[in-house]
Amino acid sequence: MKKISMIFILLLMIKLPPTAYAATINETDTELSESLKYALILSLSQPISEAIEAIYKNDKSAPKGLTWAAYQTEILKIKQANGIGGIYEITLKVYPYYRAHITYGEDIVVIRTDGKIIDYKHVKTYPKIDFNKKRSE
């Protein structure tokens, strides 16, 4: 009986996979494909637009029709807020533009994957081009 018990225990030890304990990674350390970057940025387009609107709402010099483009937006950081499978915080650098993609500024926007705006900050304003001004010859 002891032999059978020992064989059974040995078989169980061989069959059962070892338990793996791993620390949760709080920030991504891998490169995202371009398609995945654009998909992630576009999925957050509404809160990004709201943040840009809030940043420039008191800027009297801001051109009309100020907007942004996903392909000009950089993902600076992706941070896990609640462990694996939870909410992530995405830090983006957005370049708002007007007319034919004339960049007006640079802004940092932090948004959670559930669409909540965490923070936004204006970084830089570029000179506005006045197209109504006559050039001297």
What tokens were used for 36? 């995945």
- Residues above pLDDT 90, as percent of the chain: 53
What total of structural domains would you count in the chain? 1
Q: Does residue 66 sit within a domain?
A: yes
Q: Does residue 7 sit within a domain?
A: no
pTM of the model: 0.72
Q: Does residue 90 sit within a domain?
A: yes
Q: Does residue 134 sit within a domain?
A: no
Q: Which domain holds residue 67?
A: 26-125
Contact 110, 55 (CB under 8 A): no
Looking at the chain, the number of H-run helices and the number of E-run strands are: 3, 6
- 34-67 pLDDT tens trace: 888 899 999 999 999 999 999 999 999 999 889 9
- Sequence length of the chain is 137
Q: Does residue 116 sit within a domain?
A: yes
What is the distance, to the nearest Å, from the Cα of residue 13 to the centroid of all Cα atoms in its chain? 44
Q: Does residue 93 sit within a domain?
A: yes
